Amino acid sequence: DSEVKWEQYKKKDRNTIQVGYSQVGTESAWRLANTESIKSAAREAGISLHFEDADQQQERQIEAIRTFIKEEVDVIVLSPVVDSGWDEVLTEAREAGIPVLLSDRRIETEDDGLYLTYIGADFMEEGRRAMRWIAANVKPEHGPVRIMELQGTLGASPTAERKRGFEEQMAGNPGYRIAYSESGDFTYEGGRRIIEDYIENYPWDIDVIYAHNDDMALGAVNALEEHGIHAGSDVVIVSVDGTKDAFQAMIDGKLNCAVECNPLLGPQLMKAVQDLMEGKELPLRIITEEKVYDQTDAREVMKERRY
Ligand code: GYE
């Protein structure tokens, strides 16, 4: 039930906290920075980390969680590649008395007692911010602004929410329309492929590309340039994450706006793990602070960019 409290979990008699972390994969620069942050924060906190990379496959995450249960870790942290299909394995974790924290992405479940807290960004707000920037910077001239959406992994919470927030912000504004929307699975290659497919099948008629992450945006930039379409001027490009590569692309004039999503979740996460082990209550939701950047501040911000 939803009343699961820390006291119900059995505390293990050992000096080092053992954490099992099931990571999504290595699909993006954001993800690599996220993994690095988690590993180094665990090291600094003296926490022993059992880290499994699932290569974007849910079955591998389920397998990893079952391994963590066998290993009797103290805490399981899951960054779920997709948002559904977790009830069975998380029930197994609960029955084994192991608390589960969600990191970065969320799950859909009727039983919110299956995890204690969620640490991550407000993806809906990121979607709204992307659309707000577009509305302020790209004005409809000859009919509605035609937007191509490069979606992340289908079924992943950031994909669904970045889409919903964006559409919510656009609702009722006839000056903007999503003309085309495909999933590029959050990868550079995925972004490239969407542009290639489009150009093969249609005349180029897109004003704005809204990419759910930087890697897909940069893959799109690469494919556009190969076809003689100038990214950043012929077509305006807005993406989410705000990695160093995105800042460099803004400095080079090839990307117009990066809505920040902070991957450096390690310190907050390890703090939550330690609090939990000391019997403290965790907040239901831990949100990270984020901003919106464009070419006007890219050079300045790049100097201190950590990922
Ligand atoms: O935006 C993307 C990554 O879940 C917030 O996953 C994360 C997203 C991030 O692959 O680059």
What are 110-159's pLDDT values in tens digits?
A: 998 999 999 999 999 999 999 999 999 999 998 999 999 999 999 999 99
Could you tell me the distance, in angstroms and rounded to a whole number, from the CA of residue 305 to the centre of ligand 1?
17
29 CA distance to ligand 1 centroid (A)?
9
27 lines ligand 1 (CB under 6 A): yes
- Model pLDDT, residue 289: 83
How many Cα atoms within 13 Å fall on the side-chain side of residue 162?
A: 29
pLDDT of residue 149: 99
- Is the CB–ligand 1 distance for residue 161 below 6 Å? no
C-beta of residue 207 within 8 angstroms of C-beta of residue 140:
no
Provide the residue type at 4 as one letter: V
Q: Is the CB of 188 under 6 A from ligand 1?
A: no
**Percent of the chain residues topping a pLDDT of 70:** 96
**In the prediction, which pLDDT does 11 show?**
62
Indicate if ligand 1 lies below 6 Å from the C-beta of 232.
no
Residues 6 or more apart whose CB falls under 8 angstroms from that of 199 comprise: 223, 227
Backbone angles phi, psi at 75, to 5 degrees: -140, 140
Per-residue pLDDT of 60-93, as tens digits, reads 999 999 999 999 999 999 999 999 999 999 999 9
